[in-house]
Structure 1
Amino acid sequence: MQYAPAWVVAEVPLRPCAGYAPGVPSEDLTVAMEHADTVDLFAGPGGLDVAARWLGRKVYGLEWDADACKTREAAGLNFKCHDVRKFGPENFPTATMLIGGPPCQTFTVAGNGAGRRALDIVLKFIIAMAAGESVQHELARLEDERTGLVLEPLRWALRAAELGRPYRTIVLEQVPAVLPVWEAMAIVLRDKLQYHVETKVLHTERYGVPQTRRRAVLIATLDGPRSIPQPTHQIFRKSGLRPTDDHHLPACKTMADALPHRTEAFVVISNYGTGGDPKARGVRESTQPSATITGKVSRNKVVSSGRTDRFSELEAGRLQSFPEDYPWRGGAVAQQIGNAVPPIFGLHVLSAALGCQVTRELAEDIFLLKWAEVQDEEKNGVPAVLTELRERVTSAREGARNDRPDPGVTYQPALLF
C-alpha cells in the first residue's frame, strides 16, 4: 500500500443521480452546509434525519440515489444529491455530529455476500487508514464497490481530527454483519482519537418500532461516556415466552398498533422463506410486530377475512416508524423504505449519544406526530412534544463539554499515530 493522507479516497465511478438536481438554489445549499451542526452520510430518504430533526438538529444529508433525493426534497430535508466521497469535513465547518448508515446490501443476508467475503480486507483497510495509508487502489479492486463505502465515516472522523475540530458525537448503524467493522473502528476512535465508544447489536422492537429488525450501532463521543439506549419494550418472542430481563416492560408494538385504520385482524405472509426453507413463507399476525421490512415489502401478502392485498407505501413506512404523512416520492419506494433507518429507533440512539434516554411515553407521542407539524415549525411553532424532548436533551448535556476542542489543542496525525 502506498502512503498518503488518511482522507484520500478511491475515485471509483458510481451510478449518477440520473440527471436529478434538487430544486433548491445552489447558494442556499451552500449556506445550509456551512451552518449544519449534523452531517448524515448515506442519508437515504431520511430515517436518521427525521430523528435528528425531532431533536432540533440542523442536519444536512449526503445521498446519491436519485429516488431517495426526491423523497428528501418533498420532506423538506437539507441535502446534496452526490457521492459522499467527493465531500469531507471541510465542507461542514460548524458540524459537531456525524451520523450515517453506509449501504448494507453487500453485508446483509439479503444481498449478494460480497461484503461478508471482503470483511477481513475491510478490517485491514481500517488499520491502514489509521496509519495514514491510502487504500484507493485496493478499494477499486473490491468485488462490489459499495463494500468499501462502509469506511467513509472513519475517513470523515480522521480528517475532522486532522483539521483540529473533531466531531463531538458519531453515530453509525448497519446490519449485524458489520459489527466487526464498528468494533475495529472503535479501537481507532478510542485509542487514537480519545473517543468514548460503545458498539452493540440492538433489536428495534425493543425501542417502540412495530417491526423486528436487528441493527449494529456505534456511538462515539468526546463528551464523556455514553450508554447504549435502554429498551422501552420487551423483545419479541414468537413462542410468547418472556425473557427474564425485560418482563417489567410492556410488550412490543404490533402492526395493529401502528395501522389502526385496519380494523380487522390480518395475517402477513412474507415473500421470504423461514427456518432455512425457501418454500416455508414467514407468517406474522397483526397482533405481532412486522417482520423486517425489506425492499420487497410490496410482495408481502396481507390476508384479512378471505381477502388478499398488499401494504401501501405509507403503511410500509409506518411499520418503519416514519410519520404517517411522510411524503414518499420517486421510484423504488419500497426499496427506499426497506433501506431506511427506523426514525423512532434512530431517536433513541441519537438521544443516548447526546446523553439523554428517551422515555417510552415521550417516544410514543412522537410516533404519533405528523411530519407536516415538523416541517412547519418556523411558521407554526415547535410542537409541544418536541419542545419537551429538546429541553430534556439540553438539560442532560448541561454538564458536557462545549462543541469544540479545548483552546490550543491541535490534532496532528504524526502525534496521534
Structure 2
Amino acid sequence: MKQLTIYDLNKNLYKTNAEGKTIQTSWDNFTFIDLFAGIGGIRLGFEAVGGHCVFSSEFDEDACKTYEANFGEHPSGDITKIEAQNIPDFDILLGGFPCQAFSIIGKKEGFSNETCGTLFFDIERILKEKRPKAFLLENVRNLVSHDKGRTFKIITSHLEALGYHIYAKILNALDYGVPQKRERIIIVGFLDNVIFKFPDPIPEKNRTPLSNILEKNVDSKYYVKERIKLSRLERLKDKNYPKPYISHENMSGSITPHPYSSCLRAGASANYILINDERRPTEREMLRLQGFPDSFKIILPYGKIKHQCGNSVAVPVIKAVAKEMIDSLKAYERTTLYAK
C-alpha cells in the first residue's frame, strides 16, 4: 500500500506518498453558504482560504445593497421563509446569527425574543436537512453566560444532537491584527471527529496599529461640535495620553482613551467613539477597524455604514479560524485515506 499524505498537526507539515507527491483533498476546493450574511465579513474570511459561496441570505435590505455591490449577488431574504431543500448543496454552513437578543447592550431576552433569538433554530433545521461537513457560528460573548449559561447549553446540545463535534471559544479581534477590542464567541462544528484548535493570537509586532487605519485628509463634517469636544476633553481620564487614540464614554461618564477602538456597535450614538476626542471615524476607517479591504465598496450614507459595521465581524478573526478549519478537515481526510 502506498503511503498517502498525512498532515501532522504537531509538526505542521505534510507527509507525501511513495512518489513524493502531495495528495490533494476535496478541501482544496470547497463550498459554503452565508446565512445572516450582513455585508459579507464572514464570506470574505472563507473566500480567503479558497471557499466558494453558493447561497447567501440576509433580511436587511440595506445590507443586501452593500453585499450586492461587493459580491455581485443580492442575498435571498428572510431565512425563515426559505425551505432548506431549496438551498444548494454545500460543504460548510456559515452564520453570524442575530445577536441583539443576547447582547449585554440589548435586552438579553434570548430565545424569548421571537424575531432574533429563535433564528438559531433555522440554522438547526438547515443543518438537519443538508448535513454539511462543518459549520461556523458567530455571536456576542454574552451568549455564553446568558440565562446563567442555559442558552448556550441549549444551542450546543442541539448541535451535538445532530451529530456534530463542537468547539467553542471567545476570540478578541485585537489578538488577530485589527485595532478594535471586539470579543465574540465562535462556535465550530464538524460532522466527523475532526481534531481542531482555535488559531493562536498573532505577535503584537504584526498587528495593525491605529495610526495605519486612520485617513490623512478628513472632511470637516466628521468633526464634532466644539462643546462636545470640550466636554470630552474635560472628562478624559488621561489628559496626556499620546495621539492618535480612540476614546469612548463609559457608563459613569468617564472618557477612556486607548490605542484601539472599543467594540463598534450598530445602535450606539454617532459620538460614542471619537478619534482624539475631535471627530467620528469615517466610513472607511470603520471598515478598516473590522479588517475589510480598502477595495470594499461604500455605496450608502454614513449612518447606514456605521450600523452595518457594528453588526459585522472582524474579518481577520474569521479568516484565521477558517484556515484552521480547512487545515483540520484536510488532515482528517488524509488520515482517513491513510487508514484505508
Tell me whether the two structures share a fold, i.e. TM-score over 0.5. Answer: yes
Residue in 2 aligned with 1:229? 198
Q: CA distance change for structure 1 residues 401 and 83 in 2, over 3 Å: closer, same or farther?
A: farther
Shift of 1:397: 6.4
Residue in 1 aligned with 2:295? 325
Q: CA distance change for structure 1 residues 291 and 40 in 2, over 3 Å: closer, same or farther?
A: same
- Supply the AA of the counterpart residue of 1:352: E
Q: Does the aligned pair in 2 maintain the 1:259–1:315 contact within 8 Å?
A: yes
Aligned-partner Cα distance in 2 for 1:110–1:77: 34
Q: Deviations over 1:348-406 (max 9, x none)?
A: 122222235xxxxxxxxxxxxxxxxxxxxxxxxxxxxxxxxxxxx8x65651779xxxx
Shift of 1:251: 7.3
Give the 3-state SS of the residue equivalent to 2:75 in structure 1. Answer: strand
- Say yes or no: does 1:259 pair with 2:214: yes
- Say yes or no: does 1:98 pair with 2:107: no
Q: CA distance change for structure 1 residues 297 and 291 in 2, over 3 Å: closer, same or farther?
A: farther
Q: Does the aligned pair in 2 maintain the 1:315–1:324 contact within 8 Å?
A: no
Q: Does the aligned pair in 2 maintain the 1:212–1:289 contact within 8 Å?
A: yes
1:287-306 maps to which residues of 2 (within 5 A)? Answer: 288-295=259-266, 296=268, 298-299=270-271, 300-303=273-276
TM-score of the superposed pair, with normalisation by structure 1: 0.60
Shift of 1:228: 3.4
Q: Does the aligned pair in 1 maintain the 2:101–2:113 contact within 8 Å?
A: no
Q: Provide the aligned length of Structure 1 versus Structure 2.
A: 275
- Say yes or no: does 1:52 pair with 2:46: yes
Q: Deviations over 1:237-256 (max 9, x none)?
A: xxxxxxxxxxxx64754312
Q: Does the aligned pair in 2 maintain the 1:43–1:62 contact within 8 Å?
A: yes
Q: CA distance change for structure 1 residues 256 and 94 in 2, over 3 Å: closer, same or farther?
A: same
Shift of 1:265: 3.4
Give the 3-state SS of the residue equivalent to 1:318 in structure 2. Answer: helix
Q: Does the aligned pair in 1 maintain the 2:67–2:75 contact within 8 Å?
A: no
Aligned-partner Cα distance in 1 for 2:318–2:76: 22
Residue in 2 aligned with 1:32? none
- Say yes or no: does 1:347 pair with 2:319: yes
- Supply the AA of the counterpart residue of 1:107: F
Residue in 2 aligned with 1:113? 108
* Higher mean C-alpha deviation, range 198-207 or range 147-156: 147-156
Aligned-partner Cα distance in 2 for 1:96–1:252: 31
Structure 2, gaps ≥5 residues long: 1-29, 219-241
Q: CA distance change for structure 1 residues 146 and 195 in 2, over 3 Å: closer, same or farther?
A: closer
Give the 3-state SS of the residue equivalent to 2:85 in structure 1. Answer: helix
Aligned-partner Cα distance in 1 for 2:90–2:202: 33
TM-score of the superposed pair, with normalisation by structure 2: 0.72
Q: CA distance change for structure 1 residues 253 and 195 in 2, over 3 Å: closer, same or farther?
A: same
Q: Does the aligned pair in 1 maintain the 2:199–2:321 contact within 8 Å?
A: no
* Higher mean C-alpha deviation, range 219-228 or range 100-109: 219-228
- Supply the AA of the counterpart residue of 1:290: S
Residue in 2 aligned with 1:13? none
- Supply the AA of the counterpart residue of 1:57: G
Q: What is the percentage of aligned positions where both structures have the same residue?
A: 24
Aligned-partner Cα distance in 2 for 1:333–1:259: 17
Give the 3-state SS of the residue equivalent to 2:246 in structure 1. Answer: strand
* Higher mean C-alpha deviation, range 175-184 or range 147-156: 175-184
